[in-house]
Structure 1
Amino acid sequence: MRAAFAGTPEFARVALDAMLAAGIEVPLVLTQPDRPAGRGMKLQASPVKQCALAHGLPVAQPRSLRLDGKYPDEAAVGRAALEQAAPDVLVVAAYGLILPQWVLDLPPRGCVNIHGSLLPRWRGAAPIHRAIEAGDAQTGITIMQMDAGLDTGPMLLAEPLAIAAEDTTATLHDRLAALGARLVVDALGRLESLPPVPQPEAGANYASKIEKAEGTIAWTLPAAVIERRVRAFDPFPGCSFTLGGETFKLWRAAVLPGAGEPGTVLAAGEGRLVVACGEGALELLELQRTGGRRVPVREFLKGHPVVAGQRAA
């Protein structure tokens, strides 16, 4: 089994590492171009590229694979690299580029995707975030045969995973990455014998990309909705609000009974900070000021006195 690999972030890196540990031959790795990162905005290789280079694997980083798109020369280089690698199958995990038909057709055994949900629920770019935001009790991993649609191909393997009440996108991501790595190694080991199962249309929905603006807290929403968003948007983009003219990020909260004008501080002091919401109230447990670090609310209140009746926005 020669399995080329296409992926970019840590979620994909975990799968690539598992494939290599299982002895699967990886003749080529496709990943996104290096991006500026950190305070110095220096170019940084993706986690997948770092893993590939550490194992001496060939790497290609075209900005597009569409031969008729904006970067046809880079797409042509990517195509030449794939043709030279001659993989039996292409494994795709959070790659970040849409695969044109020529890529889907190139490997004899097609392209296999590791998707972070139980399809057809949460097709699209942000299945982990959206599952937490929606209050789902479980999610999972689906190994699917890719087609021209967006996460619409037939399913090869799937395994559920419970979402804990305290899960953030960060914690759930790590468990799903490990599960995806295990399942894709399993799938590759018996690819010829796994029957492709068409996805049902019932229950299909779309996990749209997370936009930074979604992190602004609207206190008119129910407290339970805000609390789920706090967990769903951790680590990115975080949930923010203003109080006393300064902007803060909220990283942990708890839903409480309570009533008041949304955004009004109902209780402050003795290590507690409670804000009224459109339905119920939210106890703020972990906060961060701009340029600071995350701190428990007790520590936060020592440097930022708050009184009942103040309004958060």
Structure 2
Amino acid sequence: MNTPLRVAFAGTPAFAARALEAIIDAGFDVPLVLTQPDRPAGRGMKLTPSAVKQIALKHGIEVDQPERLRTVEQRARLAASTPDVLVVAAYGLILPPAVLQLPRLGCLNIHASLLPRWRGAAPIHRAIEAGDRETGITIMQMDEGLDTGPMLMRHALSIAADDTTGSLHDKLAELGATSIVEALRLLPAGGLVAEVQPLDGVTYASKIGRNDAEIDWRRPARDIECAVRAFNPFPGAVGHLRGNLIKLWSARIVDAQGVPGEVLQADEAGVVVACGDGALCFTELQRSGSRRMGAGEFLRGFAVNAGETFSLENPAAA
């Protein structure tokens, strides 16, 4: 009888938790899980364990939450777990060479893009924002660079016209889970062929900041519609009207023209705003301090009139 592969796991959010569940369900021996320290969350800012930690505790798996992995002491529990391989998914810490060299079969990363496109922290957001029609999962052998290691497996996934970062995240989490199980089954027998990433096509998915979601109404409607979907559910695309911050959650392109930022129509069907090329009808909106609402309900609480103009820049930054 073959001894199960010993798979240590490092990850933090829901994307990683789905992969950990799949690895456990597939029967691999998981001696240790690494995850970020508990963070304050919710209205009460109560210390809350990560999604990965919750899965690990549910299955009785040992959890370690070091702030860094730079010292021998910080790496001690990982070393003592003697993993054959370390699987990493959205962990949030850079792995030093000592960690990369620790497992006999190395460290595998589950990356939510078709490398070398969208290396970096926010590949799902940036793929939608750029209007990409396809993304996927890459299983990569980790090296010391930023998502630069050789590729072991790639599975493509079409991006639907109505995909948000939230919906695409869930699809990619499932694909990542099935892909890593497939890779781990092939790994011990040398069934994975490492492919060096090409130099052509490299792009970087920088971390999402709140300022990224500020709408520039001078851009084409198509670009802004992609941004609205990219920043749903975080941080939410933002416009400013009469000094009020308005989050714009859902939009469709309409055949209309006007001065960029000008409200062309506002009724139950939506708030139509002119862009640099074309216009968008926003059907779900949210005023600061309130909740997301359909256009009709939003307008009953916050009047918007044709002829008004959304600010081209954030008034707070002016």
What TM-score, normalized by structure 2, do the two folds share? 0.94
Give the structure 1 partner of residue 130 of structure 2.
Answer: 134
Query: Do the aligned residues in 2 keep the contact of 1:271 with 1:301 (CA within 8 Å)?
Result: no
**8 Å CA contact 2:268, 2:295 repeated in 1:** no
Aligned twin of 1:61: 65
* Equivalent in the alignment of 1:39: 43
1:174 to 167, 170, 175: 170
Pairwise CA distance, 1:162: 0.3
Q: Conserved in 2, the CA contact under 8 Å of 1:129 and 1:233?
A: yes
Tell whether 2:56 aligns with 1:52. yes
**Aligned equivalents of 2:306, 2:201: Cα separation in 1:** 44
2: CA distance, partners of 1:269 / 1:123: 42
Matched residue SS, 1:279: coil
Match of 1:163 among 159, 162, 167: 159
Residue identity opposite 1:281 in structure 2: A
Q: Could you tell me how far apart the structure 2 residues matched to 1:66 and 1:223 are?
A: 47
Q: Calculate percent identity across the aligned residue pairs.
A: 61
Query: 1:53-75: per-residue Cα shift (whole Å, max 9, x none)?
Result: 111111111111123xxxxxxxx
Q: For 1:80 and 1:10, locate their aligned partners in 2 and report how far apart those are by CA, in whole Å.
A: 26
**5+ unaligned residues in a row in structure 1: which ranges?**
68-75
Query: Equivalent of 2:223, from 201, 204, 225?
Result: 225
Give yes or no for contact 1:16–1:48 (8 Å, CA) kept in 2: yes
- For 1:174, what is the secondary structure of its paired residue? helix
Aligned counterpart, 1:113: 109
Which residue is 1:210 aligned to? 208
- Give the residue type in structure 2 aligned to 1:282: L
Structure 2 residues without counterparts, runs of 5 or longer: 312-318
- Per the alignment, in what secondary structure is the counterpart of residue 96 of structure 1? coil
Deviation at 1:152, TM superposition (A): 0.8
Q: 1:217 is matched by which residue type in structure 2? A: I
Does the aligned pair in 2 maintain the 1:142–1:158 contact within 8 Å?
Answer: yes
The answer as to whether partners of 1:31 and 1:46 remain within 8 angstroms in 2 is yes
Residue 143 (structure 1) aligned with residue 139 (structure 2): yes
Distance 1:308 1:80 in 2: 64
SS at 2:73 equivalent: helix
Q: Does the Cα contact within 8 Å between 1:285 and 1:297 map onto a contact in 2? A: yes
Whole-angstrom CA distance in 2 between matches of 1:162 and 1:79 = 39
Offset at residue 292 of structure 1 (A):
2.0
Question: In the TM superposition, what is the alpha-carbon distance from 1:270 to its structure 2 partner?
Answer: 4.6
How far does the alpha carbon of each residue in 1:262-289 deviate from its partner, in whole angstroms, 9 at most, with x for none? Answer: 1111112353321111111111111012
Q: Hey, what does 2:29 align to over in structure 1? A: 25
Asked if the contact 1:32/1:96 (under 8 Å) is kept, the reply is yes
Corresponding residue of 1:246: 244
SS class of match (1:197)? coil
Mapped to 2, the partners of 1:269 and 1:175 lie a distance apart of 34
Q: In structure 2, what residue type is equivalent to 1:206?
A: Y
Aligned length: 305
Displacement of 1:221: 1.3
Task: Note the alpha carbon deviations across 1:231-260, whole angstroms, 9 max, x for none.
Answer: 001111111112233211100001123222
Counterpart CA distance in 2 for 1:100 and 1:269 is: 56
Partner residue of 1:296? 294
- For residues 94 and 268 of structure 1, the distance between their equivalents in structure 2, rounded to whole angstroms, comes to 41
| Greater mean alpha carbon deviation, residues 299-308 or residues 87-96 | 299-308
- Mapped partners of 2:74, 2:21: distance in 1: 22
Cα distance in 1, alignment partners of residues 15 and 145 from structure 2: 22
Shift of 1:291: 2.5
Residue equivalent to 2:120: 124
Would you say the 8 A contact 1:60–1:78 is kept in 2?
no
Residue of structure 2 equivalent to 1:312: 310
Question: Structure 1: which 4+ aligned runs deviate by more than 6 Å?
Answer: none
Distance (Å, rounded) in 2 between the aligned partners of 1:3 and 1:51: 15
1:124-162 superposed Cα distances (whole Å, 9 cap, x missing partner) = 110000000000000000001001111111111111000
SS at 1:288 equivalent: strand
Question: What CA RMSD, in Å, does the superposition of the two structures yield over aligned residues?
Answer: 1.0
* Alignment partner of 1:5 is 2:3: no
Verify the 8 A CA contact 2:56 2:63 in the aligned structure 1. yes
Decide whether the 8 Å contact of 2:267 with 2:295 is kept in 1: no
Is this contact kept in 2: 1:142–1:157, CA < 8 A? yes
Q: Which of the residues 260, 272, 275 maps onto 1:274?
A: 272
